[in-house]
Amino acid sequence: MEYLLPKYDNGDFLHTEEECRDIHKRVYPGLSWEQFKKNIQMQPVYQLQGMCLLIRKMHEKFGITPDKVDFSPREKEFRIEAMQEELDEYKDSTTKADELDALVDLVVFALGTAERQGMLHVFEEAFTRVMVANMMKELGPNQKRGQFQLDLVKPEGFKPAYLNDLVGEE
C-alpha cells in the first residue's frame, strides 16, 4: 500500500510504504506504526514542489539566489516586515479577492524567505513532517491564541516535527 506524503501531478505517490516506514523510524520513533499510518493518510496533493520551483525561477530572474547574494540580517528584517504587511492586508481585506491576494503574497514571501536562506530544497520534507505532527494534534481551544474553539492543540506526549537534521543542526 502507498501512503500520502504528497502526490506528483500525475497522481503517483511521492513516498512508498518503505519510505514511509523509514520516515516513521527516523522522525517519529515513539509513535506506533499504526498511529503513524492513520495520521499520514491525509488528502494528498500539495503543489508545493511546483510553487518552490516558481520561487526559485523568480529569484534567478532577479539575480537574488542564495548562491549569488547572501541573506543578511537586514533582509531578514525586511522579509518579516513584508510578511507582516501581507497579514495586515489580509486582516483589513473587505473582499474575498483581496483576502486571496494577501494570502498568496504571504506564501510567496514565506517560500521566498526559505529560498533566500537556502532551505527551499528541504522545505517540502519539512512541510510533510510538520503536517504529520499536526495530524497528531486534537481540535480544541488553544490558550496561546485566545481560546478559539477550532484551533489545534497538542495532546499529552505530543512530539513536534524534528527538523534539525534538515538544516544541519543535529
For the stretch 31-88, pLDDT in tens is: 787 777 666 654 343 467 778 888 999 999 999 999 999 999 999 999 999 999 999 9
Q: What is the pLDDT of residue 7?
A: 43
Give the lowest-confidence range in 5-9, 55-59, 145-149.
5-9
Nearest partner of 128 among 20, 32, 51, judged by Cα: 20
Q: What is the pLDDT of residue 39?
A: 63
Position 155 pLDDT exceeds 50: yes
For the stretch 86-110, pLDDT in tens is: 999 999 999 999 999 999 999 999 9
Contact 132, 160 (CB under 8 A): no
Q: What is the pLDDT of residue 41?
A: 54
Work out the average pLDDT over 9-18.
Answer: 56
pTM of the model: 0.72
Cα dihedral 135, 14, 115, 69, rounded to 10, equals 160
How far apart are alpha carbons 29 and 162 in whole angstroms?
Answer: 11
More confident residue, 77 or 125: 77
Sign of torsion over alpha carbons 23, 25, 31, 32 = positive
More confident residue, 133 or 43: 133
